[in-house]
Amino acid sequence: MLKELSPKAQKIKDQLTQFMDEHVYKNEAVYEQQLNDAEHRWVVPPIIEELKAKAKAEGLWNLFIDNEEYGPGLTNYEYAHLCEIMGRSLIAPEVFNCNAPDTGNMEVFMKYGTEEQKEKWLKPLLEGEIRSVFSMTEIEAASSDATNIQASITRDGDEYVINGKKWWSSGAMDPRCKVAIVMGKSDPEAETYRQQSMIIVPFDARGVEVKRYLPVFGYDHAPHGHAEVHYNNVRVPASNILLGEGRGFEIAQGRLGPGRIHHCMRAIGAAERALELMIERADGRETFGSRNIDKAVIREQIAESRIEIDSARLLTLSAAHKMDTEGNKAARKEISMTKIAAPRMCLNVIDRAIQLFGGAGVSDDTVLAAHWANARTLRIVDGPDQVHLRDIAKLEIREQLNERTSKEKEPVR
């Protein structure tokens, strides 16, 4: 099944690897230092804008876009190889303008935006000049089932009025954040999957209130941050509705397919880096009279990690290939399987590496702790594990029973 990369994708991959070696890893500490040196951490570290300018100049920009009008036009399968490399560093996705939630929001604007919306919001996002938020999850609703979402989007003359209490709106703390895509109910009486809409809200609109930031295991993820955001009687022009009233679920489906798989690709890159660190550490340390790298138990962990990483990569690539050849809908089961397997694998591998590093593993002296915290959130975001397991089982059972029914119909020979 493994296809060779096209010469175009291979060239970008080589260039990206070189860029990471020359510019990204060594500036991770600079990024953190600049945030620490600032008056507060919700500022843009200058190094990120320098790296973005370099990456853009080299054409390593908007690599996630499969549409040649806006980006390099790579397939999901090709992008998987690049996204994995970016996942090795927590600062890398933004360097190449490939970070969530901006990627998903750009996809929404590309697919569903009017020319005016594209001009106003998509263009500066594509240029990396502004950042954005996707506000779906609510404090008071179990949001893994999006039919529970209660925020209201009510038509009033030429405007819509938005009210709701959202949280975990990633990127809301970023001083460059200028726009939110908000999901809410425009018609509570409509059929379940036609009740919700998505609407564009300029982030400086009156009534948008960023209440507090939410740390992840103590990490602030500055300067983007995740925040509780209240929308209090926010008024926007009626033309800000995306695609039309009642089309929220349709947009959510279109937005989440590729985004889910991007997280998985990055998780594979994070795991690869953890395994490299693990081997380097084991090679450099001795306990109880022998080198750690020579101990059977540690070799076993290295082997287990390699098996798990390669298995998750194959699953991810096969999902990406199916998305390319049969479409996102046909690849639903594979996407869900990947969304379960890759974060689990990543957490296992990083956990082994942390153990081998001892105290250093849980400190900020290595990237391991921050990558672990990030990977742990992946079992919750974009559909918690249990929701994906439910979907996989449903699709598997449907396939098997349909198959059995059609076999039963075959004449007995």
Ligand X SMILES: Cc1cc2nc3c(=O)[nH]c(=O)nc-3n(C[C@H](O)[C@H](O)[C@H](O)COP(=O)(O)OP(=O)(O)OC[C@H]3O[C@@H](n4cnc5c(N)ncnc54)[C@H](O)[C@@H]3O)c2cc1C
Instruction: Summarize as ranges the residues that interact with ligand X (CB under 6 A).
Output: 101, 134-137, 142-144, 168-170, 216, 226, 377, 380-381, 384, 386-387, 390
Nearer to ligand X, 116 or 140 (CB): 140
C-alpha closest to that of 249 among 354, 335, 348, 136: 136
Nearer to ligand X, 81 or 224 (CB): 224
Q: From residue 335, how far is each of 321, 325, 375 by CA, in Å?
A: 11, 14, 17
Separation of alpha carbons 195 and 205, rounded Å: 24
Nearest approach in angstroms of CB 258 to ligand X is: 15
Nearest approach in angstroms of CB 344 to ligand X is: 14
Nearer to ligand X, 76 or 377 (CB): 377
Separation of alpha carbons 37 and 70, rounded Å: 37
**Amino acid at the residue 145:** D
Nearer to ligand X, 123 or 390 (CB): 390
Nearer to ligand X, 263 or 313 (CB): 263
Which two tokens mark 19?
């860029």
Nearest approach in angstroms of CB 170 to ligand X is: 3
Residue with tokens 């564009």: 200
Which two tokens mark 155?
């038509």
Separation of alpha carbons 306 and 272, rounded Å: 8
Q: How far is CA 63 from the centre of its chain?
A: 14
Using an 8 Å Cβ cutoff, are 82 and 76 in contact? no
Separation of alpha carbons 227 and 243, rounded Å: 27
Nearer to ligand X, 314 or 389 (CB): 389
Nearest approach in angstroms of CB 86 to ligand X is: 18
**Cβ atoms < 10 Å from Cβ of 121:** 23
Separation of alpha carbons 246 and 198, rounded Å: 8
Nearer to ligand X, 143 or 301 (CB): 143
Nearest approach in angstroms of CB 158 to ligand X is: 27
Nearest approach in angstroms of CB 136 to ligand X is: 3
Nearest approach in angstroms of CB 137 to ligand X is: 3
